[in-house]
Chain A
């Protein structure tokens, strides 16, 4: 900053002179003697920070290494058929993870389907419409919901949600939407639908509170400008708020999806734990995280235990792929349309 400034002010007679002036100015800081401790501290800090960053890589690397090593017997036995096989029979030693992969993906997708509109609604209401005295309690309760342990959600789902689904929601859905095939067969209350609903309740606080923060970060002037152009309140929300906040909102959805993919306890309590691929959402299903939690402790025998570790590997891969796809989505939606608001 200093060097070009000085160089510019002085009329340049020749290139050589200008260079020497610049060099003098540039070399000036070096003249300040630094103690050994200072230099050591700089280098040390640099290494420390690098180490911190590398530790993330190391942890993930170690994780993958362990998963692959411990699933060797199963990898050798089944190869890639493991990921497309539909049989899970510990007695005869037949293992295929497809029903679990399907269950994880469908239950998480179902959760997003319910949670995203709901969270957006909550966030828009809290930031744009709610009077001050409602805003604080709603935000507080939302954050409280995020802190409830998943086993509590699971118990609540068994004793409250499942009966409601069985007695009221299930029959109504079967009557009105039964023709789609998604809502057919006996309604147990327990099953894919219950898992999707409980997951959506669990991820709403995450998505809603991050979305609220992102929306709150949008400058007030943006809103005023849109309103000044004669926009209605809804148009203001759409043009000034949602459009500018979309990167942050997608980030919030990805975080919610991450929790839904990995959630174990609450899901296993209500999903029915049956490794089947069925179109109907009333039918019981199974997820990857659930089968690991359910069967690992009692898995006797090398092949069985390694098959469960391989389910862990599959979960890791699925999470990786889903996250990569989500990143691509962010990239595609923001391309050519720079967003002005920066969420955290």
Chain B
């Protein structure tokens, strides 16, 4: 008996010792990039067994709060923090883009052949409650020759606060002054019309069930669940359907100055750019007390920009444009 207890104790001590030999980084935040992050962290651990990165997808807001409280080493957010929000976190941070996502208008209108195309005016009109029927003039004008039913539009939006909603409302704010002044952009807003579904699956569930509904979901979710979505007219006047390429194209036109990556890429210029896209960010403190942790973090970030970006498309995320990855590398060197 005693022998067994000693053995167990030794095993525990051994395991504890093993984990001490490792550098462990803790992060928390956004749920949208979670599948990507969790793959990255496990692949990085396979390649560098001395570094282990834990990530909890508790939501951007939660990640920011945890980082402010100092309980995690880094945070993650789908929405770039403005100066006022960044002040909540005691230490100065870099906001580094990791991957790109886009949001698509998903619809369910039975009896319509072909894809319904959307213009900025149609989307803002529907979400403001001004366009209420599928055979509205604006929709008919954008879809010449399509037989549109005289059916009410059921508007669906996310009920939970999410980066997806931020991207969608950020886009609507840019293209419609009325939306900008009445509603604005945030992770959750005061919707003029519509039903709220919880999560991508909630919105998709409602859209799928109700004939005549229009909602918005992440591109990844739409691709993986084969949800019907339409192309959107971009700033250059082309109808572009969301894809990994058109999402990356939106980011290429982003104008980034210095080490500030907080740039909105909705309604981006560029002929091929899909207009409803966004970066998702890691929030990394500029200064670290623990030099081994700092080393591990920098090592991961460089790896993420290099081989990490190669894994992105396999999970249906859009990779960063090369120029932005290059710029990030120089910013990472400033971490002290």
Interface residues in chain A, defined as those with a beta carbon under 8 Å from any beta carbon in chain B:
87-92, 158-159, 162-163, 166, 186, 188-190, 268-269, 272-274, 284, 286, 290, 293-302, 305
Contact = CB atoms under 8 A, between A and B. Distances in A.
Nearest to B194: A274
Nearest to B62: A297
B183 interface: yes
A188 B188 contact: no
A300 B195 contact: no
B196 A273 contact: yes
Central interface residue in A90, A294, A295, A298, by most chain B CB within 10 Å: A298
Contacts of A159: 205, 209
A159 B160 CA distance: 20
Interface of B: 58-62, 64-65, 79, 81, 85, 88, 152, 154, 159-163, 183-191, 194-198, 202, 205-206, 209-210
Given A268-B198, A294-B198, A295-B188, A188 B154 contact: yes
Central interface residue in A293, A299, A302, by most chain B CB within 10 Å: A299
Nearest to B154: A188
B186 A90 contact: yes
Contacts of B184: 91-92
A166 B212 CA distance: 14
B85 A300 contact: yes
B190 A87 contact: yes
Identify whether the interface residues of A are mostly helix, strand, loop, or mixed.
loop
B36 to A, nearest CB: 19
A300 B190 contact: no
Contacts of B196: 272-274, 284, 286, 294
A268 B59 contact: no
A100 B88 CA distance: 28
Contact of A268 (B79, B159, B163, B210): B159
Contacts of B161: 90, 294-299
Contacts of A298: 59-62, 160-163, 187-188
Nearest to A300: B61
A158 B209 CA distance: 9
Contacts of A302: 88
A299 B195 contact: no
Given A158-B202, A166-B210, A305-B61, 17 more contacts: A90-B161, A91-B185, A91-B186, A188-B154, A268-B159, A269-B198, A272-B196, A273-B196, A274-B194, A294-B196, A297-B62, A298-B61, A298-B62, A298-B161, A298-B187, A300-B81, A301-B88
A293 B199 CA distance: 12
22 contacts: A91-B183, A91-B185, A91-B186, A91-B189, A92-B184, A158-B206, A159-B209, A162-B209, A163-B209, A188-B210, A189-B210, A269-B197, A273-B159, A273-B196, A286-B196, A294-B196, A295-B161, A297-B58, A297-B59, A297-B60, A299-B161, A299-B187
Contacts of B81: 300
A52 to B, nearest CB: 31
A284 B194 CA distance: 9
Counting from the closest, the 10 A-B pairs by CB-CB distance are: A298-B161, A297-B59, A273-B196, A273-B159, A91-B184, A89-B190, A298-B187, A294-B160, A298-B61, A272-B195
Contacts of A91: 183-186, 189-190
A300 B202 contact: no
B162 A274 contact: no
B61 to A, nearest CB: 4
A97 to B, nearest CB: 14
A295 B165 CA distance: 12
Contacts of A299: 61, 161, 187
Central interface residue in B185, B189, B198, B209, by most chain A CB within 10 Å: B198
Contact of B189 (A89, A162, A284): A89
A293 B62 CA distance: 12
A295 B160 contact: yes
Nearest to B191: A274
Given A294-B161, A296-B61, A189 B190 contact: no
A290 B85 CA distance: 25
A242 B62 CA distance: 50
A286 B198 CA distance: 12
Nearest to B209: A163
Central interface residue in A91, A162, A274, by most chain B CB within 10 Å: A91
A158 B205 contact: yes
Contacts of B197: 269, 273
B69 to A, nearest CB: 12
Given A87-B190, A90-B190, A190 B198 contact: no
A298 B183 CA distance: 18
A189 B202 CA distance: 14
B195 A190 contact: yes
Contacts of B162: 298
A273 B195 contact: yes
Contacts of B205: 158-159
Contacts of B186: 90-91
Nearest to B79: A300
Contacts of B187: 90, 298-300
Contacts of A87: 190
Contacts of A272: 195-196
Contacts of B160: 293-295, 297-298
A295 B184 CA distance: 17
Contact of A297 (B61, B85, B159, B206): B61
A99 to B, nearest CB: 11
Contacts of B202: 158, 269
Given A163-B209, A297-B160, A90 B195 contact: no
A297 B60 CA distance: 7
A87 B182 CA distance: 13
Contact of A186 (B88, B152, B159, B198): B152
B129 to A, nearest CB: 12
Contacts of B189: 89-91
Contacts of B191: 274
B201 to A, nearest CB: 9
Nearest to A275: B190
A162 B207 CA distance: 13
